[in-house]
């Protein structure tokens, strides 16, 4: 396969490498992802994360495994193991379905390679489409609040919500970005803060609990988040804490935008209740782990509730900003996301 370089994925000499998103921003470590077990572990540990990136990394690994002569039965098992690694985002399953189609071809080795490379190119284009659609919703001198990480680290391109912010900054529309730290795994504090710094976009980091008082003071013009799955009624699963922001935004009369590729829409999922929410380890809440080691602050036997995502009902969303354009609440109420008959 030809060499590939995105912000957080690399194919060099037919080997897949990932930028360790648990070590960022203190360390920039590129790790091997050569076997299914290695990549599944990277995904489970969120060294590879973000809905689009998980799907792209799995597709690239499968294509490389096919090129290295892995037999079809083993490729099928690899695909299954990758598909089970994170349940909430639909992008992984969508990308694997595309790779599965390629696997059915007589010349499956080249078909899988072509498909994986196509998925990377498509993702870049989807990001640009979202950014262009989103620009029209950003007003001059904007102070935007974002949650989790939806940038180049989480995609092959400029990102989704952060891609809109990036292009809006280039258009001179951004006064500053409020970055929610995003407990428990701190994707905002570690990753979004780092990406915005690299892009020289002015930002201030806040604890998640500070958003309400900022909104009350009139310091937030809009909230922009990504999505892991958009259900047929417009409900959206995204990083835990997204729902609280949507409730706060509604209360304060602030627009709340969800930016995602149209491939994040899952017409087979009727509503948010049908979305499987990944539950994660207690240790993510009882302390923190990073390149500095592990720190435990809660009692060792503390009982923990740790869902990785929550569901924001469609009624709280001002616009679904897709690569195909902005979908309005009226369009969603009229059945925009319902499966076509
Ligand atoms: O658990 P993570 O860090 O993979 O969660 C990421 C998010 O929730 C993102 O908002 C979503 O995947 C969209 S990324 C473009």
What domains appear along the chain, each with residue ranges and CATH number?
4-128 (1.20.120.420), 139-333 (3.40.50.10470)
Side-chain-side CA neighbours of residue 236 (13 Å): 35
CA of 50 to the centre of ligand 1 (A): 4
Cα 41 to chain center, whole Å? 18
Give me the interface pTM, i.e. the ipTM: 0.98
Give the number of other CB atoms < 10 A from CB of residue 83: 18
pLDDT digits (tens, 9 = 90+) for 241-259: 999 999 999 999 999 999 9
Q: From the CB of 151, is ligand 1 less than 6 Å away?
A: no
Q: What is the pLDDT of residue 292?
A: 75
Please state, in angstroms and rounded to a whole number, the distance separating the CA atoms of residues 226 and 234: 13
CA of 147, closest atom in ligand 1: 10
Q: From the CB of 18, is ligand 1 less than 6 Å away?
A: no
pLDDT category at 114 given cuts 50, 70, 90 is very high
Which parts of 13-89 fold into alpha helices (H)?
36-44, 51-67, 72-83
pLDDT digits (tens, 9 = 90+) for 126-154: 999 999 999 999 999 999 999 999 999 99
pLDDT digits (tens, 9 = 90+) for 59-85: 999 999 999 999 999 999 999 999 999
Q: From the CB of 150, is ligand 1 less than 6 Å away?
A: yes
Residue 341 pLDDT exceeds 70: no
Q: Average per-residue pLDDT in the chain?
A: 97
pLDDT digits (tens, 9 = 90+) for 83-93: 999 999 999 99
pTM of this prediction? 0.97
Please state, in angstroms and rounded to a whole number, the distance separating the CA atoms of residues 182 and 188: 5
280 is in an annotated binding site: no
CA of 51 to the centre of ligand 1 (A): 5
Q: From the CB of 237, is ligand 1 less than 6 Å away?
A: no
49 is in an annotated binding site: yes
Residue 291 pLDDT exceeds 80: no
Q: What is the pLDDT of residue 289?
A: 80
pLDDT digits (tens, 9 = 90+) for 298-315: 999 999 999 999 999 999
Residue pair 271/236 in contact by the 8 Å Cβ criterion = no
| Secondary-structure percent of the chain, ordered helix, strand, coil, rounded to 5 | 40, 20, 40
CA of 98 to the centre of ligand 1 (A): 21
What are the beta bridge partners of residue 305? none
175 is in an annotated binding site: no
Q: What is the pLDDT of residue 297?
A: 95
Q: Which residues are marked as active site?
A: 228
> Which pairing describes strands 142-146 and 174-180: parallel, antiparallel, or unpaired?
parallel
């Amino acid at each position: 396969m030809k060499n590939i370089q995105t912000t957080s994925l690399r194919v060099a000499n037919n080997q897949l490498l990932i930028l360790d998103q648990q070590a960022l921003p203190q360390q920039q470590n590129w790790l091997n992802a050569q076997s299914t077990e290695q990549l599944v572990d990277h995904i489970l540990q969120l060294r590879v994360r973000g809905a689009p990136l998980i799907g792209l990394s799995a597709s690239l690994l499968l294509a490389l495994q096919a090129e290295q002569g892995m037999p079809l039965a083993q490729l099928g098992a690899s695909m299954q193991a990758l598909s089970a690694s994170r349940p909430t985002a639909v992008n992984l399953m969508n990308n694997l379905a595309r790779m599965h189609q390629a696997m059915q071809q007589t010349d499956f080795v080249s078909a899988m390679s072509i498909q994986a490379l196509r998925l990377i190119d498509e993702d870049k284009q989807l990001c640009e489409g979202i950014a262009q659609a989103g620009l029209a919703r950003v007003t001059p001198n904007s102070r935007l609040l974002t949650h989790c990480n939806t940038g180049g680290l989480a995609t092959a391109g400029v990102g989704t919500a952060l891609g809109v912010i990036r292009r809006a900054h280039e258009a001179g529309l951004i006064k500053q970005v409020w970055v929610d730290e995003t407990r428990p795994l701190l994707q905002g504090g570690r990753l979004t803060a780092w990406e915005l710094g690299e892009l020289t976009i002015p930002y201030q980091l806040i604890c998640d609990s500070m958003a309400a008082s900022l909104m009350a003071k009139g310091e937030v013009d809009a909230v922009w988040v990504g999505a892991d799955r958009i259900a047929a009624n417009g409900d959206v699963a995204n990083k835990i804490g997204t729902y609280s922001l949507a409730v706060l935004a509604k209360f304060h009369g602030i627009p709340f935008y969800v930016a995602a590729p149209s491939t994040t829409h899952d017409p087979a999922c009727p509503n948010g209740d049908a979305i499987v929410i990944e539950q994660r380890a207690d240790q993510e809440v009882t302390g923190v782990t990073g390149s500095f080691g592990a720190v435990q602050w809660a009692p060792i036997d503390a009982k923990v509730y740790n869902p990785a995502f929550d569901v924001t009902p469609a009624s709280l969303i001002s616009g679904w900003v897709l690569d195909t354009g902005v979908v309005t609440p009226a369009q969603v109420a009229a059945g925009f996301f319902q499966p076509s008959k």
